[in-house]
Amino acid sequence: MERNLNKPTICKIEKVIDETPTVRTLIFADDVLSNVLPGQFAMVWVPGVNELPMSIMITQEKDKAAFTIRKYGEASTALYNTKVGQLIGVRGPYGNSFNIKEGKLLLIGGGTGLVPLMRLLTFLKPTDDITLIMGAKTKTEVFFEEHAKKLLDGKKHQILVATEDGTYGEKGLVTDVMNNLCQSTKFDAVYTCGPELMMSKVVQIATSKEIFVQASLERMMKCGVGICGSCCVNDDLVCKDGTIFDGKYLLSKSEFGHSHRTKSGILEAY
């Protein structure tokens, strides 16, 4: 029987991994979400609390999927606090996926924005030359570095970590590291996910260097299927038209990198 992607499927949490003091990964069995394309997402129901959009993390186990959550608001904190044996509801996958190029590729992720990029790594060619820049505020908030090393083992690659306070890796923002790299290296494509202000700068730098760039946007989502309009960027719906958008297209949108909508739908400046 074919699964109805718009009807929640109930899943039991099988494993919880503490990534940092504020980030956890929840692993569960789901043969559909375990095989999604990089950039796709699911709507996750936390019983008795709310539903929220989540990028789908890869796992090393067959037919298993995962969500990596930073506790922040009510729903994300409730999902973060979900324990082994407890149930969640998932529907999807929704959204499009990255347009995968070949050659010298630059991936830039901030915080849990690394999730779709980790999945993207598994879709890249063995002949690609891959640079991954990972951003965090401080050393204790760096995660997925060892996981990325395993995924890139045997491929030509480098992993660079930037922390805002300089406690690990390079001091500064991922965009500082990117800017320095682009002075001496010509990349064939750039892929990014993370805070929108970070992605806006990444897109600007890449476009100024005439490099193909795509960003995976994170916006307020209440439905995931294009009904509520909460996730719109100008006249585009992130859930239906994205989450992946070409950089040049995003730069034509007055709201990208400048404003977003609150839970009540009010347009608010960053």
Q: What is the pLDDT of residues 4-15, one digit of tens each?
A: 888 999 999 999
Beta strand segments in 80-200, E: 87-94, 104-110, 129-136, 156-163, 170-171, 189-193
User: Could you give the angle at the alpha carbon of 230 between the alpha carbons of 190 and 220, nearest 5°?
Assistant: 55
179 and 255 in a single domain? The answer is: yes
240 and 110 in a single domain? The answer is: yes
pLDDT of residue 265: 84
H helices of 37-195, in order, are: 74-80, 114-121, 145-152, 174-184
Judge whether 138 lies within some domain.
yes
* pLDDT of 1 higher than 70: no
Query: Domain range for residue 119?
Result: 104-269
pLDDT of residue 17: 97
Judge whether 15 lies within some domain.
yes
Q: State how many domains the chain has.
A: 2
216 and 241 in a single domain? The answer is: yes
Judge whether 118 lies within some domain.
yes
Judge whether 188 lies within some domain.
yes
Place 60 in a pLDDT band, splitting at 50, 70 and 90. Answer: confident
Report pLDDT digits (tens) over 184-194.
999 999 999 99
Judge whether 1 lies within some domain.
no
Judge whether 131 lies within some domain.
yes
255 and 187 in a single domain? The answer is: yes
Place 143 in a pLDDT band, splitting at 50, 70 and 90. Answer: very high
115 and 236 in a single domain? The answer is: yes
The mean-pLDDT minimum among 83-92, 97-106, 241-250, 257-266 falls in: 257-266
Contact 38, 97 (CB under 8 A): yes
Report pLDDT digits (tens) over 234-261.
999 999 999 999 999 999 999 999 998 8
187 and 232 in a single domain? The answer is: yes
Contact 106, 131 (CB under 8 A): yes
109 and 87 in a single domain? The answer is: no
Residue 222 dihedral angles phi and psi, to the nearest 5°? -110, -25
- Mean pLDDT, the chain, rounded, equals 95
69 and 144 in a single domain? The answer is: no
Q: Which of 76, 94, 112 is the last residue of a domain?
A: 94
| 167: exposed, middle or buried (Cβ count in 10 Å: 0-12, 13-18, 19+) | middle
Residue 90 dihedral angles phi and psi, to the nearest 5°? -130, 140
Q: How would you classify the pairing of strands 267-269 and 259-261?
A: antiparallel
pLDDT of residue 264: 85
* pLDDT of 162 higher than 60: yes
Judge whether 198 lies within some domain.
yes
Task: Give 69's strand partners.
Answer: 24
Provide the CATH number for the domain around residue 26: 2.40.30.10
pLDDT of residue 16: 98
124 and 48 in a single domain? The answer is: no
190 and 78 in a single domain? The answer is: no
pLDDT of residue 4: 86
Provide the CATH number for the domain around residue 182: 3.40.50.80
Report pTM: 0.96
33 and 131 in a single domain? The answer is: no
Judge whether 2 lies within some domain.
no
For tokens 């969640």, what's the residue?
88
Q: How would you classify the pairing of strands 129-136 and 41-46?
A: unpaired
For tokens 């099988």, what's the residue?
14
pLDDT of residue 3: 81
166 and 253 in a single domain? The answer is: yes
pLDDT of residue 263: 84
